[in-house]
Amino acid sequence: MKIALVGATGLVGGVMRKVLEERGFGNCTFLPAASERSIGKKIDFAGREYVMMSVEDAIAAVPDIAIFSAGSGPSLKYAPMFAEKGTVVVDNSSAWRSDPNIPLVVPEINGDVIKATDKIIANPNCSTIQMVMALCPLHKRYGIRRLVISTYQSVTGTGMKAVNQLMKERVGEPCEKAYPHQIDMNLFPHGGTFEDNGYTTEEIKLVNETRKILRDNDIQITATVARVPVTGGHSEAVNVELNEDFTLEEVYDLLNRMPGLVVQDDPEHNIYPMPMWAQGRDEVFVGRIRRDFSQPKTLNLWVVGDNLRKGAATNAVQIAELVRDRFLK
């Protein structure tokens, strides 16, 4: 089996290499590709050294699967070229997520939507992935009427330049800025770019992608995204108004039975999800589970996940596993 990784040298690309090794892709023919400035560089994968190739050379090699983590521009340009060769593309950018003809997949929730004819599959936004992992069992049982979401997003979601800014500011050294403001000892309600309606692209993704993955366009959703000086993962406060009433005992049971979701909820002993505990883990963590007493049929959740693992690399590799096991064996 041949597998290409486009954007293999980036922050997420590095985690993707690690996850591919961990999940049994180490014996595949590996085709690492990146932009022109990275061609010829050497990287390690599964105990071997590889030389970075051009995306055009990776296309010519006709891999079975190509995982993209190179941004929307390269995805829009090159993903169709891979698809024309018969390669299945798993794309981690926002390029294809809103396309009604492209599956947007979290395998534990809607992996069944992938068909043999699908040659481009979109990996959702990191914040969306971890949130719908907690929402899916609740939506199946009660139906979700409305979501009010506040996210507290790690600088790793912006990339290595943002991580460097945080670390340099922390020790008082000059640095190239990824953000318009200082991030150390600060936070700002700004993720993505601002649209004419006052919302950011990151906030709009949470609305559109949640509806698409849960297959319900009637869910009412509003979101506010904040960037925080954290490297371990994203955190989210989610207020969930349901169509039917619930008992907390049943909610705990539903969440405990969701694959890939871990309940951490023991306030008496100060146990609740935190990025420092989620970092490096594939699971999504949920806690602070409590009834909203201001209105009926409403629940509050606190959801945390490593945005580089389940929020990006792991989910993409899980999609690749589905494709391999369902269509390539």
Q: How far apart are CA 164 and CA 27, in angstroms?
A: 33
Burial of 277 per CB tally in 10 Å (0-12, 13-18, 19+)? middle
User: Is 126 considered catalytic here?
Assistant: yes
Segment holding 2, helix H or strand E: strand 2-6
Pairing of the two strands 220-227 and 48-51: unpaired
The amino acid present at 290, given as its one-letter code, is R
Q: Token pair of 328, please?
A: 């390539």
User: Is 175 considered catalytic here?
Assistant: no
Q: Are 100 and 320 in contact (CB under 8 A)?
A: no
Q: How far apart are CA 242 and CA 223, in angstroms?
A: 17
Q: Among the options 126, 136, 139, 190, which is catalytic?
A: 126
Q: How far apart are CA 89 and CA 188, in angstroms?
A: 34
Question: Greatest CA separation found in the chain?
Answer: 60
Q: How far apart are CA 284 and CA 309, in angstroms?
A: 10
Count CB atoms within 10 A of the CB of residue 54.
15
Supply the DSSP symbol for 112.
Answer: G
Query: How many residues can be counted in the chain?
Result: 329
Q: Token pair of 45, please?
A: 């994968």
Close Cβ partners of 256 (under 8 Å, ≥ 6 residues apart):
263
- The SS3 assignment for 303 reads strand
Q: Among the options 28, 136, 139, 234, which is catalytic?
A: 234
| Residues carrying an active site annotation | 126, 234
